[in-house]
């Protein structure tokens, strides 16, 4: 007997439903510091590097006090390089340290250190949110998708946000449309479902394991 859809969702969430923000120690709220920390994490994911290293790099930066755009901008370039190095964020450490500094300055100059002003400028348009995010150094389509996928927990206008990397849903017998997926869980749980689907899509054996009967 195959598993029911609710059982599949429960197994999916239990095994893979942890957001990148949670892994990086970010307690995501609609306040300036955690929103900026999420943006920092998205910058770190913007290069071809393992997810666990990007998360470790975020933890090192935050542990060194670089939790706000002002703190990031005030830190020296070498401070940022050293924090990235402690997380083994190799090859991209110097260029990423530069991007983080420039991005912090942009957030300070344009949004006075508060990404809720970016949200206000977008006026409830998710596409515009993505466009504005991509003005931050190193943030491209993937980084903007990650930000929206996780920020939908606190910015309801982004819901439902499932990027192209959540294609594993159809293989699991789940709806393939964002609207259909959104009906499976509570709104606040959408980021966890989206993160789980991305992880399953990146794992060769995850779909088969989740679909095992028993």
Look at residue 179 in the predicted model and tell me its pLDDT.
Answer: 92
pTM of model > 0.85: yes
Q: Binning pLDDT at 50, 70 and 90, where does residue 203 land?
A: low
Look at residue 213 in the predicted model and tell me its pLDDT.
Answer: 47
Look at residue 101 in the predicted model and tell me its pLDDT.
Answer: 98
Helix, strand or coil for residue 29?
coil
> Using alpha carbons only, what angle is made at residue 199 by residues 165 and 135, rounded to the nearest 5 degrees?
50
12-27: average pLDDT:
94
Computed over every residue of the chain, the mean pLDDT equals 91
15-31: average pLDDT:
95
Q: Tens digit of pLDDT for each residue in 70-119?
A: 999 999 999 999 999 999 998 999 999 999 999 999 999 999 999 999 99
Picking from 13, 20, 6, 93, the residue whose alpha carbon sits closest to that of residue 52 is: 20
- Residue 29, number of CB atoms within 10 A of its CB: 11
Look at residue 214 in the predicted model and tell me its pLDDT.
Answer: 39
């Amino acid at each position: 007997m195959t598993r029911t859809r609710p059982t599949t969702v429960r197994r999916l969430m239990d095994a893979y439903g942890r957001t990148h923000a949670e892994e990086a120690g970010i307690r995501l709220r609609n306040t300036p510091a955690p929103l900026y920390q999420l943006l920092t994490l998205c910058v770190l994911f913007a290069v071809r590097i393992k997810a666990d290293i990007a998360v470790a790099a975020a933890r090192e930066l935050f542990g060194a006090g670089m939790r706000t755009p002002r703190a990031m901008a005030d830190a020296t370039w070498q401070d940022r390089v050293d924090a990235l190095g402690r997380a083994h964020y190799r090859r991209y450490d110097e260029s990423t340290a530069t991007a983080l500094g420039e991005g912090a300055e942009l957030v300070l100059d344009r949004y006075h250190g508060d990404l809720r002003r970016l949200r206000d400028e977008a006026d409830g348009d998710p596409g515009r949110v993505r466009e504005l995010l991509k003005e931050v150094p190193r943030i491209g389509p993937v980084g903007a998708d990650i930000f929206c996928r996780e920020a939908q927990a606190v910015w309801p206008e982004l819901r439902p946000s499932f990027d192209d990397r959540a294609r594993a849903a159809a293989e699991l017998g789940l709806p393939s449309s964002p609207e259909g997926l959104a009906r499976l869980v509570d709104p606040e749980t959408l980021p966890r479902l989206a993160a789980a689907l991305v992880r399953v899509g990146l794992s060769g054996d995850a779909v088969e394991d989740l679909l095992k009967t028993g």
